[in-house]
A = this chain, B = another copy of it.
Amino acid sequence: MEQKKWVDSQVAAGVDALSRKFFVGPGDDERFKKWGEQAMELALDWLKNPEGKKIHADISLQDLAKLFAETRLPEEGLSIEEVFAECKTMILDNSVRINNPRYIGHMTTVVPWFSVVVDILITSINQNQVKIETALASSFVERQTIAWIHSLVFKKPKHYYDKVIQERGVTLGNMTSGGTVGNLTALAAARETRLPGIRQQGFFKVFADSGYKDVKILVSRRMHYSITKSAALLGFGEESVEQIPVDHNNRIRLDLLQAKINELKAANVLILAVIGIAGTTETGNIDPLDKIAEICEREAIWYHVDAAWGGALLLSEELGARLKGIERADSVVLDGHKLFYLPMNHSMVLFKNEDSLNRWRHNAKYIIRKGSVDIGQTSLEGSRRFNALKLWFSLKMLGRSGYHLLLKKSLHLTDLLTALLDKDPDFERCSNPELCILTYRFIPNRVKLELSEVMKRGDTERENQINERINEVNVELQKRQRERGESFISRTMLESTPYQAEIVVLRAVLTNLLTKSVFLEEILEEQRRLGFEIIAELG
């Protein structure tokens, strides 16, 4: 058969050279191996001796910006040697050393090295989870992993999971790219359950016919900002999120929650969902999940639990007890890239009722056909990589017992820091930690004593004056500490303290397995030094 020839033989030669250079098969497989090993070396070099490296590089943001200011795209390819060199000097050397044991500031943490290893496999086989024709075994791995986590959360009997684990048409939940898409999915399912038809006919028509005056979502003030984002996207609006005040343990005030429910029901307002938090992003506290469940069951309200941070505790029988009541939720979000110790980014949204996700089941003619095993039928997202393998692999490598140890270590570190703070005259602890997060502030002992006096005599003006000043000091302290680059802690503001005004607090997230007690002592010493230095400067 006569063939259409390449019009341009130069193009043909170029393609040939390219495929031999960069594709396994026609090419030189040794190159793949060699550069894979080089990348491993580079990664290892970056990862090792973490405590000896500055957390934030000594380069200013302005200078860093200049490194990436070339606006013209590369016309010709560079050699891999050149690109690797740029990766090292421009990027790796200027990346945040989140594995430094003195980095105790955000939820991003060091991960076991086998997570890197498993990503080599995920990317190499490049499956697309949307459809069995591009996924095969990976579809079943994802389903198995979801069933595992579902059984931890909802604790249905084993025979139930034996039946549904791989049952076509039964969907217990989705893996999502992150907690935000997870919360969005949960609230989308709640919307279609409570206001059926919006998916098809739109918000306006269905709501107008519903007879309700308004819609609200109830959650504590410690909620994650993805809740308002989801409410806004879904058409409820950010104002639909009623933030219920918390107690001094940063847990939702049940009395105020119940009062709000009564008020809204009396006013003919639909309560789309009540959201419990396990645990809060800012303070790591856990809402009284069973008490909220009671309310939701009695009031027939959709109950969502945002367990993005703390869900992994369920892996440990002992620690999982802290989340008692989570099994009564209608939907739950968990983040793999948090306390499951997976690399960025991996989340799950799970539903108690198999029907919940059916309300979003969809199909397309060329893909994810009706009646198929395609797991893309219920995901809000389309193409997705085989991230399920990360969690599957990690659960096999560590087992529940390994996770128990990792979590114990994090909680132990939190206890250590708590003890250090509680006996230190120049610090004040600002929350009771439950889940590896602790807030506190620097406040010199003499100021602390004065503040205590001021509080006793009810002098709010002076109280606010002092706190305003101490807020300033702690903002500056956190900034200088970050700029010095020896250690890192984040900060936030809390209203849930004994004070009238909002308080700036330092926020420690203690999930780095490499952190030791001596580092915690050093960090407090550094903060004390910086704090007094700033106070001296401010005069």
Q: In the bound complex, do residue B229 and residue A162 qualify as a contact, i.e. CB atoms below 8 Å apart?
A: no
- Which chain B residues lie closer than 8 Å to A70 at the CB level? 144
List the B residue with the shortest CB-CB distance to A208. B204
- Is A519 in contact with chain B by the CB < 8 A criterion? no
- Is A492 in contact with chain B by the CB < 8 A criterion? yes
- Which chain B residues lie closer than 8 Å to A132 at the CB level? 61
This protein's copies in its complex:
2
- Which chain B residues lie closer than 8 Å to A315 at the CB level? 73
- Is A398 in contact with chain B by the CB < 8 A criterion? yes
Q: In the bound complex, do residue A402 and residue B77 qualify as a contact, i.e. CB atoms below 8 Å apart?
A: yes
- Is A298 in contact with chain B by the CB < 8 A criterion? no
Given known A-B contacts A395-B74, A491-B366, A202 and B239 have beta carbons under 8 A apart: yes
Q: In the bound complex, do residue A199 and residue B134 qualify as a contact, i.e. CB atoms below 8 Å apart?
A: no
- Which chain B residues lie closer than 8 Å to A382 at the CB level? 178-180, 224-226
Q: In the bound complex, do residue A71 and residue B165 qualify as a contact, i.e. CB atoms below 8 Å apart?
A: yes
- CA gap between A61 and B372 in the complex, in Å: 11
Stretch in A123-131, A350-358, A526-534 with 4+ CB within 8 Å of B: A123-131
Q: In the bound complex, do residue B128 and residue A106 qualify as a contact, i.e. CB atoms below 8 Å apart?
A: yes
Q: In the bound complex, do residue B238 and residue A235 qualify as a contact, i.e. CB atoms below 8 Å apart?
A: no
- CA gap between A43 and B111 in the complex, in Å: 22
Q: In the bound complex, do residue A237 and residue B43 qualify as a contact, i.e. CB atoms below 8 Å apart?
A: no
Interface residues in A234-277 by Cβ distance below 8 A to B read: 234-240
Given known A-B contacts A43-B121, A161-B71, A396-B74, A203 and B204 have beta carbons under 8 A apart: yes
CB distance from A241 to the nearest CB of B (A): 10
- CA gap between A364 and B96 in the complex, in Å: 21
CB distance from A464 to the nearest CB of B (A): 19
Given known A-B contacts A25-B47, A83-B397, A73 and B380 have beta carbons under 8 A apart: no
CB distance from A504 to the nearest CB of B (A): 10
- CA gap between A399 and B21 in the complex, in Å: 14
* Choice from B40, B226, B364, B393 contacting A120 with Cβ under 8 Å: B40
- CA gap between A44 and B28 in the complex, in Å: 11
- Is A384 in contact with chain B by the CB < 8 A criterion? yes
CB distance from A476 to the nearest CB of B (A): 14
- Is A517 in contact with chain B by the CB < 8 A criterion? yes
Q: In the bound complex, do residue A47 and residue B281 qualify as a contact, i.e. CB atoms below 8 Å apart?
A: no
* Choice from B73, B99, B177, B367 contacting A25 with Cβ under 8 Å: B99
- Which chain B residues lie closer than 8 Å to A432 at the CB level? none
Stretch in A48-56, A323-331, A448-456 with 4+ CB within 8 Å of B: A48-56
- Is A425 in contact with chain B by the CB < 8 A criterion? no
- Is A409 in contact with chain B by the CB < 8 A criterion? yes
Contact with B along A180-214 (1 / 0, CB 8 A): 11001000100000000011111111011000000
Q: In the bound complex, do residue A118 and residue B39 qualify as a contact, i.e. CB atoms below 8 Å apart?
A: yes
CB distance from A363 to the nearest CB of B (A): 8
Q: In the bound complex, do residue A419 and residue B3 qualify as a contact, i.e. CB atoms below 8 Å apart?
A: yes
- Is A507 in contact with chain B by the CB < 8 A criterion? yes
Q: In the bound complex, do residue A73 and residue B412 qualify as a contact, i.e. CB atoms below 8 Å apart?
A: no
- Which chain B residues lie closer than 8 Å to A224 at the CB level? 364, 382
Stretch in A87-95, A288-296, A465-473 with 4+ CB within 8 Å of B: A87-95
Given known A-B contacts A15-B513, A419-B4, A166 and B73 have beta carbons under 8 A apart: no
List the B residue with the shortest CB-CB distance to A502. B365
- Is A152 in contact with chain B by the CB < 8 A criterion? yes
- Is A117 in contact with chain B by the CB < 8 A criterion? yes
- Which chain B residues lie closer than 8 Å to A134 at the CB level? 96, 98, 106, 108
- CA gap between A113 and B61 in the complex, in Å: 33
Q: In the bound complex, do residue A337 and residue B92 qualify as a contact, i.e. CB atoms below 8 Å apart?
A: no
Q: In the bound complex, do residue B118 and residue A77 qualify as a contact, i.e. CB atoms below 8 Å apart?
A: no
CB distance from A101 to the nearest CB of B (A): 8
Query: With A38-B117, A39-B118 given, can you name 9 additional A-B contacts, CB distance below 8 Å?
Result: A23-B110, A36-B117, A65-B140, A78-B397, A91-B138, A111-B123, A177-B178, A202-B240, A203-B236
Which are the 8 A-B pairs with shortest beta-carbon distances?
A235-B235, A202-B237, A366-B492, A203-B235, A177-B177, A344-B385, A43-B124, A94-B137
22 contacts between A and B (CB under 8 A): A1-B423, A14-B401, A18-B406, A24-B50, A32-B117, A46-B124, A67-B140, A71-B161, A74-B395, A78-B396, A91-B389, A94-B136, A108-B383, A119-B122, A178-B384, A180-B381, A203-B236, A224-B364, A233-B380, A282-B366, A345-B383, A366-B490
